[in-house]
A and B are shown apart, each in its own frame.
Chain A
Amino acid sequence: MKIQYDTKKSLVERIFLLEIVKGLGLTLRRLFSKSVTIQYPKERKELFPGFRGKHALIRDPKTGTARCVACMRCASVCPARCISIRFTTDEKTGGRKLESYEIDALRCIFCGYCEEVCPVNAVVLTEDYEYSDYEREPFHFDMEALLNNWDKFVEKNKIDPERYLNPFLRPRGLALGELPAGKRMDVPEEWTLEGQVVWKDGKAVSAREAAAE
């Protein structure tokens, strides 16, 4: 498609500088429309669930500590190689016991692979993005710090740790069979494969409803 345009101005436009009037008119209209700016420290933007922010290890309400089973998936998938885990193996049962878990947040690129790959939803990137500091040391999270991050996050946002949902803990649109047992959480219907949304008659409806009609 050849684009067509005409930049010639008519005599009226040239004499009365109409484009200036039009431009200022637009500015004037916008002056009285609703402001889109957020006055940051006073107002805060509402984040969507699944925002990839500060790391945390979820404190399991039952055991009081991290759920991590030291499967090493997060450490091996991490593209920045910023997770280091040490564990001991029980000679008899072959079970693993977590010794230390460290994340170097300054190396992290916030891809979210670690939380997506974790089969028991132990590690998570919380929706907390305000954690600047003057030194490097506070960004080297060890296990205690990561559990603390979780406690603080829970406290600050007043969430129920049992009900906490995040699209990376249970990816949207995947069949239940594809998920390991630890990731099969109760989710809103539109997160499931059967309830996924399609567009119908000017609004988003679940595919199941659309098929039923």
Chain B
Amino acid sequence: MPENKSESKQTTVQHMAYEPYTVAMGPQHPATHGVLKLDLELDGETILECKPTVGFLHRGVEKLAENISYAQCLPLTDRLDYIAAMANNVAYSVAVETLLGIEVPLRAKYIRTMVMEMARLTGHLLWLATHALDIGAMTVFLYCFRERENLLDMFEEICGARLTTSYTCIGGVRQDVTGHFLESLHAFTDEFPSRIAEYETLIDKNRIWLQRTQGVGVVSAEDAVSLGLTGPTLRGSGVDYDVRKHMPYDAYPYVEFEVPIGSKGDVYDRYRCRMEEMHQSNSIIRQCIEALPPGPIRAEDAPDLVMPYGPQKVVEADATFSSGIIKLVEDRKRFIKGDVYVAAEVPKGELGFYFVSDGRGVPYRMHIRSPSYIHIGALPFLCKGQMVADVIAIIGSVDVVLGECDR
């Protein structure tokens, strides 16, 4: 159509100076926290549109899970949010236990709550470290890693790995805690609040930090809910929603803690929420240590799921009763049919597992509702109209990890 063509040509000529141009940020960009690609359409320095591209780290975790048993799926969850693998382990185990109706012993519940809060600290410390580094505060990065290292050492002591922990098992935990672990963790919680104060000294009232974070990436409470944000990213906007409080699992009903809520919904409020959450986690860990009851660490009624030692057997007489031989057959009654969605509060937000079970002992379908994926979906909204430099601050403040997003 020749007329149209000439028309469009004319507009181009008229707005030559304002023609938006596109910049590809990532997938190899140090501040995108992994392999996230953002196509930014810019007008000068203002962002007209931001299009995230995900999937560079896709490993097919959901599909892999369809071929291996529930117990074997557990190490896969380490590789979702590799920053706080312990929290994923707990979330996964809680979901499978709900599906199969297994009651976990009290000691295991307390241990799990304890390690989950430790994972929250490792997650938040790494978040603070990289977020501050992105905005330009190098020292905070080093101090955060010092404490994170202590926590990772404690993970190593109880489960033999620092990052890919695989610590829980379905129906409990794989290893009991040791006295040395409890003592070093208790000593850590004594000291940690003063360490948080150190980070705050460096950035709390720092004028560069305030200018980079206050009033940036504002999201109102309604928008935050409709975008599906969860975790501290949602609570920074003033919405009181925390899975630990509203749908408690493990030992959370027995411990006391507060859920910090922000009001303005900007990057600074989200930062504040997470800092306060670290104080709360610290106090939960202390309560768990002090209230840790003695008792078994694995549920008895978890046939075929308790690692190790093979499936539990039930005695079945020979059908004809002639040979007098009794047989031991595997008890697979527990694998009920049905589906379940169970969520847990991981450092990033609400991590949910949706299982469809057809009674075979392997998930027919496992869907992971990963907070990072949904938070990346909110980036176009958050970035619109902001400056290019603020994209970094916004990505940092919604706290995404690409292993979990792409899974």
Contact = CB atoms under 8 A, between A and B. Distances in A.
Interface of A: 1-3, 5, 7, 9, 13, 19, 22-23, 26-27, 30, 36, 47-48, 50-52, 73, 77, 79, 109-113, 116-119, 125, 167-168, 171-175, 178-180, 190-191, 193, 196-199, 202-207, 210-211
Nearest to A114: B308
A19 B139 CA distance: 14
B19 interface: no
Given A23-B139, A23-B206, A173-B176, A198 B201 contact: no
Interface string B305-348: 00111100000000000000000000000000000000000000
B39 interface: no
Nearest to A168: B160
Interface residues of B, number: 63
B260 A171 contact: no
A187 B363 CA distance: 37
Given A30-B143, A117-B308, A204-B183, 20 more contacts: A3-B263, A19-B205, A19-B206, A23-B201, A26-B201, A36-B149, A110-B164, A112-B166, A167-B160, A174-B297, A190-B178, A191-B176, A193-B296, A196-B107, A197-B292, A198-B294, A199-B289, A199-B290, A199-B292, A206-B179
Contacts of A77: 71-72, 307-308
Contact of B261 (A3, A13, A110, A197): A3
A198 B288 CA distance: 10
Nearest to A193: B296
16 contacts: A2-B263, A7-B205, A23-B202, A23-B206, A26-B202, A48-B160, A111-B164, A119-B309, A172-B175, A172-B176, A172-B177, A173-B175, A174-B176, A190-B178, A191-B178, A211-B294
Given A77-B308, A197-B182, A199-B182, A175 B262 contact: no
Contacts of B159: 50
Interface in B32-87: 68, 71-76
Given A26-B201, A79-B76, A116 B160 contact: no
Interface of B: 68, 71-76, 107, 139, 143, 146, 149, 156-157, 159-161, 164, 166, 174-180, 182-183, 186, 198, 201-202, 204-207, 210, 214, 238, 258-263, 268-269, 272-273, 276, 289-294, 296-298, 307-310
Contact of A27 (B139, B157, B205, B262): B139
B273 A171 contact: no
B198 A113 contact: no
Residue from A3, A119, A203 whose CB has the most chain B CB atoms within 10 Å: A3
Report, nearest first, the 4 A-B pairs whose CB atoms are least far apart: A173-B176, A117-B308, A207-B294, A204-B179
B207 A117 contact: no
Nearest to A29: B198
Nearest to B186: A199
Nearest to A173: B176
